[in-house]
């Protein structure tokens, strides 16, 4: 693995770990939560620096449905993360307490609450949209250079089970109410086992990763079927090697049909 790719993977792993840590505020207290949030902010900036090529590519290429979906998720995640950072600084009693900030606490609390849960969901969706890359890198680290049929079946079965459990955890823990501010206070069970809490949040993350991954796969599949049906070739990078051959086949087919008519 190239050094830059390794750094990207480490940053992404640390961001995921920080996200899960931050969701368990009741277990760690104010100071730990604030320092973890500040660390998340640094990792967030570093993530964007390492992936700055994404911004340069925004004006290039065709916008397929999958690319539009990715763009919407990424922009929403950017807005939500900025909302988390700003509201976190306003509410800070430890890390940023030296700043002369007064007022706006009620609004900042609601913004921080909604942004935290939206950020959790959007980060999981973002991971799901890049799951092929993530699993590929993890496979290299674990030494799985070739895919195994049984490993694939076991992985998908476990993924389905985790996603189903995660969906019910998402509903039972009232995350939709927090996201849409139908409830303006988060219920925290301080006596809950830490392991159970994080099992539920890992499962919820798994649900949104699973949903985004297979939704994007389905969109790509139907997009390719559409281009084949209309006699046009998609500009998807993984199909670029077949562009010339596919165009020739389609062109020959049209010539043959025109000749017959």
Is the distance from CB of 93 to CB of 72 less than 8 angstroms?
no
Average pLDDT, the chain: 84
pTM: 0.80
CA distances from 73 to 70, 226, 257 (A): 5, 24, 43
pLDDT at 261: 43
pLDDT at 242: 47
| pLDDT tens track for 132-182 | 777 776 666 666 656 677 777 887 888 899 999 999 999 999 999 999 999
**pLDDT of 45-72, one tens digit each?**
999 999 988 888 898 888 888 899 999 9
Is the Cα dihedral 197, 201, 207, 210 positive or negative? negative
Question: For residue 29, how many other CB atoms are within 10 A of its CB?
Answer: 10
Instruction: Give the helix/strand (H/E) hosting 182.
Output: none
Q: What is the model's pLDDT at position 147?
A: 65
Task: Sort residue 230 into left (φ over 0), alpha (ψ -120 to 50) or beta.
Answer: alpha
Q: Is the pLDDT of residue 251 over 60?
A: no
Q: What was the pLDDT predicted at 118?
A: 97
């Amino acid at each position: 693995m190239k050094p830059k790719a390794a750094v990207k993977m480490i940053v992404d792993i640390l961001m995921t770990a920080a996200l899960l840590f931050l969701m368990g505020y009741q277990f760690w207290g104010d100071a730990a939560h604030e320092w973890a949030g500040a660390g998340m902010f640094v990792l967030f900036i570093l993530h964007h620096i390492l992936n700055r090529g994404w911004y340069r590519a925004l004006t290039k290429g065709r916008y397929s449905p999958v690319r539009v979906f990715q763009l919407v998720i990424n922009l929403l995640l950017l807005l939500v993360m900025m909302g988390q950072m700003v509201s976190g600084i306003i509410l800070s009693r430890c890390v940023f307490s030296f700043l002369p900030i007064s007022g706006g606490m009620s609004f900042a609390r609601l913004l921080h609450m909604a942004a935290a849960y939206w950020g959790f969901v959007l980060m999981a969706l973002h991971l799901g949209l890049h799951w092929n890359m993530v699993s590929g890198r993890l496979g290299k680290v674990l030494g799985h250079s070739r895919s195994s049929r049984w490993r694939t079946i076991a992985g998908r079965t476990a993924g389905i089970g985790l996603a189903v459990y995660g969906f019910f955890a998402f509903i039972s823990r009232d995350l939709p109410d927090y996201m849409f501010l139908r409830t303006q206070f988060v219920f925290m069970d301080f006596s809950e086992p830490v392991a159970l809490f994080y099992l539920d949040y890992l499962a919820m993350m798994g649900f949104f990763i699973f949903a985004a991954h297979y939704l994007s796969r389905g969109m790509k599949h139907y997009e390719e079927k559409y281009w084949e049906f209309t006699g046009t070739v998609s500009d998807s990078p993984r199909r670029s090697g077949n562009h010339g051959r596919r165009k020739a086949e389609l062109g020959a087919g049209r010539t043959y049909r025109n000749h017959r008519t």
